[in-house]
Structure 1
Amino acid sequence: MNENEFESEMRKVSSDPILDPRRKAYLMQNLMTREVPDEVYKSLDAVGEGENWWEAVKLQKLILAHNEIQLLKEDIRNLPLLSVLNVSHNKLSHLPTAIGELKSLEALDVSNNLLNELAEEVGSATALIKFDCSGNQIKDLPCSLGNCLDLSDLKASNNRLTSLPEELSNYSKMSKLDVEGNKLTTLSEKLVASWTFLTELIAGKSHALFSFFSSLDMLTVL
C-alpha cells in the first residue's frame, strides 16, 4: 500500500457502521459511541454459525475515529490481518498490549486520546510504516518502537516529550517527523546520523532542533 492510499484510509468518514467484505473494512466514525461493538470482536449475523466474522471477511482496515470509545479490548488480537487501525479522537487512556500481536499492522493512528504512555508491546507491531500518537499526554516514546524498522512517518506532536529514544536510530527509512508542541531541545547524534532520508521536519517552536539536521539538503522544515 503506497503513501497516498494510507492517507486516504486515515481520512475516511462514515456516519453509520459499515462492514464491507469486498473492501475488508469496518468503518464506524462520528457516532459518539463509548464502546467498540461486540460484533467487531465476535461475530456478525451474516456469518455462518460457528464461524468468526474476521475469519470470513479477513478484516484489514478498522476505522473507529471520532467517537467516545474508552476501551479497546485485548480481543483486538483476533484480527491478525489488520493493516490499518484508526482509533483517533476518542477517550482511550491506554492501549491493549495485544496491538503488538498485529504483525500485519502498517498504519496506526491513536491521536487525540487521553494516553499518558504507550506500552512497550506497541513496538512488537514490527510492520508499522506510519504511526500517529499526536495530541495526547505522552512523556516518553517506548524504546521498543525501534523494532519497527520500516517506520517512515512518525507523528508525535502536542505531547509532553522531552527526548526521543536512541533506539529510533533504527529508522533508516524515516522521511517525515512531526514533534511540534513538545519540549524537545536536543537530539542524540546517533539519531541525526541515521535519518539520512528525512525530508520533512515539523518542530514548531523547537528551533534548537533545526541545526541538528543542517546537513540534510532535502529537508523541509515546517
Structure 2
Amino acid sequence: MQTLCALRSGHLAGISELALSEDLTDFPMEILSLADSLEVLDLSNNRLTSLPDEIKQLTKLRILFASNNPFETLPESLGKCPNLEIVGFKANKIKHVPEASLPQKLRWLILTDNKITRLPQSLGERCLLQKLMLAGNQLAELPSNLSQLTNLELVRISANKLTQCPEQLLGLPKLAWIAFSGNPFSQVQHHTYSVPQVAFSSIDVKNVLGQGASGVISKATWREPQLELIQDIAVKVFKGELTSDGYPEDEMQACLKAGAHPNLVQPVAQVTEDDCTALVMALIPKHFRNLGLPPSFESCTRDTFVEGESLSIAHISKIVEQMESVFAHLHSKQVCHGDLYAHNTLVDDDGNMIFGDFGAASMYHMLNKKQQAQIIQIERRALRCFIEDLLSVCVAEDKSSQQYTELANRMVK
C-alpha cells in the first residue's frame, strides 16, 4: 500500500502509478514531485473537495480517479492537464460540471452516481471521447451537440430524469453499447412475466460463485422440493443500489422479459420481497468459462483476452452463430442488452455458449419506429465488434480459411 509518508520521504520517486487513500482533505502537493513520471493517480476514498491549479504540472498524467469523495464541482483544473484521457469521479456529490473542467484529450469520462442536472456544451466538443458513464444523476436533458461525438462507442445514461429519448446519440456512427433504462422516457410497468415468485426462505444459499456491480451470485438449493422447477440453481441477490449501468430492478425485469433461449442464462423464479430482490437461475455447469476479459484502460471499449488465448475458426464460427441467434431473440422481445461482449459470454471446450449479465439492458418498446431501428443498429455494431474481437485471437493457420474471410466480411456490412 502506498502512503503519503513514503511519498514525502522520497521512496516513491519515479513511479508511474500512485494510489493514496488516507482520509485526505487536501491535495498533497508532494505529488507534484512526480511530474516527470506519474501517469495514473488514484485519490479515491478520501474527503477531497477540490484539486489545485498546480495539478497541470503533472504533464504525463493520463488517468485520474477520485471516486467516493465529497466533490460538489468537477475541478476546472482538470481541463488544464495536457495529457489527461481518463477521468473518474464516481459516487461524489457533484452538482456542477464547469465548461472548462473537461480535458482536451478526454477519452473516458465516469460521473456515475452524482447529482448532476446539467452538462456543459464543451462535452460535445471533446471529439476523442469514446466512453461516457453518466448513470445515476439528475439529468433532464443532454447537450444537443453530443451529436458531434463521432468517436463515442459506449454510453450509460440510465437512472436519470431524461423525459425524451436523446436522439443526438442514436445516430452516432460508432456507438455500439448503450444503456438508458430508469428514465421517465423509458419507464415501463414491471411484470412478473413467465417465472413464478417464490419466498427467499425457500432457498438455501450455499457458496458464492461470483460478485458483480449489481449483486452477488451464489450456488443454491431449494429448502423444499420444487417439483416443477429446475433443481440445480444459482441465485443472484441484488444489492438494491445504483450500479454503473443503472438500477438492479431494471436488470431483473429485462432478463425476465428476454425469456427462454438455449444460449441465455435461464431464469427460473424471482424473489420480490420488501427486504430482498433476487433472481433464481439455472446453475451453469462448471466446465463453462469466460470467453473474454473486460476492456483495459488502453482498449477502452474493446474486450481483452488471456495472454496466449487462441480459438479455432470452427469454434469462433459456432460461437458467432449462437450469438447471432441470441441477438435476434432479444430484439424480437425489444430488449437491448447494452453489454454484448465476450467477457459476458461463457463457453465450453466444444464452443457451446451461454450469454448473460443484463445489468445494462434496456427495454425499448416505448420508442418510436425510427428510434427502435436505431437501437437495433447500435447493438448490431456491438455484434460486429464481438466478431472482430474473436477473430483477433483466431489461430494463425485458420486466418486464410474461407470461414475466416466470411466472418471478416460480415463485420463491414
TM-score scaled by length of structure 1: 0.71
Identify unmatched segments of 5+ residues in structure 1. Answer: 1-16, 18-26, 29-35, 45-52
CA contact (8 A) 1:74 1:97 kept: no
CA contact (8 A) 1:70 1:91 kept: yes
Q: Which residue of 2 aligns with 1:151?
A: 106
Instruction: Give me the whole-angstrom Cα distance separating, in 2, the residues matched to 1:123 and 1:42.
Output: 30
Instruction: Give me the whole-angstrom Cα distance separating, in 1, the residues matched to 2:57 and 2:89.
Output: 19
In the alignment, is residue 167 of structure 1 matched against residue 122 of structure 2?
yes
Relative to structure 1, the CA distance from residue 209 to residue 180 in structure 2 (aligned partners, 3 Å threshold; closer, same or farther) is farther
Q: Which residue of 2 aligns with 1:110?
A: 66
What is the Cα deviation at residue 69 of structure 1?
2.8
Deviation string 1:140-163 (CA, Å, 9 cap, x unpaired) is 1232234x2221110011111111
What is the Cα deviation at residue 109 of structure 1?
0.2
Instruction: Give me the whole-angstrom Cα distance separating, in 1, the residues matched to 2:53 and 2:9.
Output: 19
Instruction: Give me the whole-angstrom Cα distance separating, in 2, the residues matched to 1:186 and 1:128.
Output: 27
CA contact (8 A) 2:51 2:77 kept: no
Given candidates 131, 134, 140, the residue that maps to 1:179 is: 134
Q: Which residue of 2 aligns with 1:21?
A: none
Q: Which residue of 1 aligns with 2:170?
A: 214
Q: Which residue of 2 aligns with 1:61?
A: 17
Instruction: Give me the whole-angstrom Cα distance separating, in 1, the residues matched to 2:82 and 2:167.
Output: 31
Deviation string 1:38-89 (CA, Å, 9 cap, x unpaired) is x313424xxxxxxxx62xxx22110124x43333223322211211001112
Instruction: Give me the whole-angstrom Cα distance separating, in 2, the residues matched to 1:99 and 1:111.
Output: 17
Given candidates 38, 51, 57, the residue that maps to 1:95 is: 51
CA contact (8 A) 1:95 1:118 kept: no
CA contact (8 A) 1:105 1:128 kept: yes
Q: Which one-letter code corresponds to 2:158 in the other structure?
A: G
SS at match of 1:196: coil
CA contact (8 A) 1:76 1:98 kept: no
CA contact (8 A) 2:124 2:143 kept: no
CA contact (8 A) 1:103 1:126 kept: yes
- Structure 1 range deviating more: 134-143 or 101-110: 134-143
Structure with bigger gyration radius? 2
Instruction: Give me the whole-angstrom Cα distance separating, in 1, the residues matched to 2:166 and 2:125.
Output: 20
Deviation string 1:106-135 (CA, Å, 9 cap, x unpaired) is 000001111122332221112111100111
CA contact (8 A) 2:79 2:104 kept: no
- Structure 1 range deviating more: 94-103 or 128-137: 94-103
Instruction: Give me the whole-angstrom Cα distance separating, in 2, the residues matched to 1:213 and 1:168.
Output: 13
Relative to structure 1, the CA distance from residue 41 to residue 96 in structure 2 (aligned partners, 3 Å threshold; closer, same or farther) is farther
In the alignment, is residue 198 of structure 1 matched against residue 198 of structure 2?
no
Q: Which one-letter code corresponds to 2:134 in the other structure?
A: V
What is the Cα deviation at residue 186 of structure 1?
1.4
SS at match of 1:184: coil
Q: Spell out the pairing of 1:14-93 with structure 2 (5 A cutoff).
A: 17=1, 27=2, 36-37=4-5, 39-44=6-11, 54=13, 58-65=14-21, 67-80=22-35, 81-93=37-49
| Cα RMSD (Å) | 2.0
Moved over 6 A (4+): none
What is the Cα deviation at residue 209 of structure 1?
5.3
Relative to structure 1, the CA distance from residue 209 to residue 110 in structure 2 (aligned partners, 3 Å threshold; closer, same or farther) is farther
TM-score scaled by length of structure 2: 0.40
Identify unmatched segments of 5+ residues in structure 2. Answer: 180-413
SS at match of 1:193: helix
Relative to structure 1, the CA distance from residue 209 to residue 111 in structure 2 (aligned partners, 3 Å threshold; closer, same or farther) is farther
Identity of counterpart residues, as a percentage?
A: 25
Q: Which residue of 1 aligns with 2:88?
A: 132
